[in-house]
Amino acid sequence: MWEKKPVLFMLLATAAILVGTIVTMVLPFAWVNTEADRIEGVVPYTPLQQEGRDIYIREGCNNCHTQTVRPLVSEVLRYGEYSKSGEFVYDRPFLWGSKRTGPDLARLGGKYPDAWHYKHMDSPRSMIPGSNMPDYKWLRDGQVDPESVRNKMEVLGFPYTEAQIADLSGKTEMDAIVAYMQKLGSDIPWREATQTEIVGELTNPFPGDPAAIAAGEQVYTDNCAACHGDNLEGDIGPELAGAGYDDAMLFELIYSGITDNGMPAFSSLGSEKVWQLVNFIQSKE
């Protein structure tokens, strides 16, 4: 019936499309990024961080890494508190992504010290055995252009000081991308809120057990040697041989991590592997 009245049919179809567009696109845009969505502590990028973000986009990092934690139990347990709209008010464009060839980076800032990132960008396999991420050591050769960055900050409307622009002199593209990665998720106190709490008394189940020590050596090689050295001599992280921790304290430090120096938690290994690791480290006293 309506098809015999093409003008009326066209008007009704247009009205239906407009209603759908308003409900699914216009209203959500009006509802997000309002003052109510703002998160105290989330600040614009500095000039160095903004340049690092542009390099991140230029190199296609967002093709392999997402920057959003979905409100799913498995994601929150792995990456931390799920993402809120207020975290992205200064992102132009958004880099949420849809593919995770590599891990999500929304909560990367502060998880590792700067030195870890420099070594990881030089050679990802030196820090994460088996990684298929390409080397980016050549970013050390690219120099940041202060005037170009100034123009970007003005176009985006982000605040900056002349001292920040002057500090860009001599900075490399590697410095910039590391600064950007250390910014990700660092404006919100999610890490303290999701700190793993150990309940109950900690008693070493494998004191001096040769089998546990041997298993712990492999755990150390896979997870710790990149930062603490092959022989516990220290590198990015401190020397562990003869560190003087008792078993319970060492377990807690490994299991829960240390937020002050960028050591991540290794609760994902499970208690048994962490205890094996404790016994291996203590065997080197």
**217-247: per-residue pLDDT in tens?**
999 999 999 999 999 999 998 898 888 888 9
- Angstrom CA distances, 66 to 82, 94, 97, 108, 219, stand at 13, 10, 5, 11, 28
Rounded distance, CA 161 to CA 46, Å?
9
Domains of the chain: 47-192 (1.10.760.10), 210-282 (1.10.760.10)
In angstroms, rounded to a whole number, what is the distance separating the alpha carbons of residues 269 and 99?
25
pLDDT of residue 215: 95
Lowest mean pLDDT among 107-111, 130-134, 233-237, 264-268: 264-268
73 vs 23, 76, 82, 119, 135, CA distance in Å? 29, 5, 9, 32, 33
Mean pLDDT value of segment 265-285: 89
Mean pLDDT of 148-160: 96
What sign has the CA pseudo-torsion 76, 79, 83, 86? positive
Q: Which one-letter DSSP state was computed for residue 258?
A: B
Cα-Cα-Cα-Cα dihedral sign, residues 42, 48, 51, 53: negative
Q: Which residue has the higher pLDDT, 276 or 81?
A: 276
Give tens-digit pLDDT for 9-43: 888 889 999 998 888 877 776 666 565 567 888 99
What is the mean pLDDT of the segment spanning 138-155? 97
Rounded CA gap, 173 and 95, in Å?
Answer: 19
**Most confident region among 51-65, 119-133, 188-202, 225-239 by mean pLDDT:** 51-65
Which is more confidently placed, 21 or 45?
Answer: 45
pLDDT for 198 equals: 61
Q: What is the mean pLDDT of residues 241-265?
A: 85
Integer CA distances (angstroms), 244 to 50, 112, 200, in order: 42, 23, 23
The backbone region for 80, taken as left when phi is positive above 0, alpha when psi lies in -120 to 50, beta otherwise, is left
The whole-angstrom separation of Cα 234 and Cα 281 is 13
Whose structure tokens read 């030195």? 115
Strand partners, 244: none
Dist CA 135 CA 76 (whole Å): 29
Q: What is the three-state SS of 79-123?
A: HCCCCCHHHHCCCCCCCCCCCCCCCCCCCCCCCCCHHHHHHHHHC
pLDDT of residue 241: 84
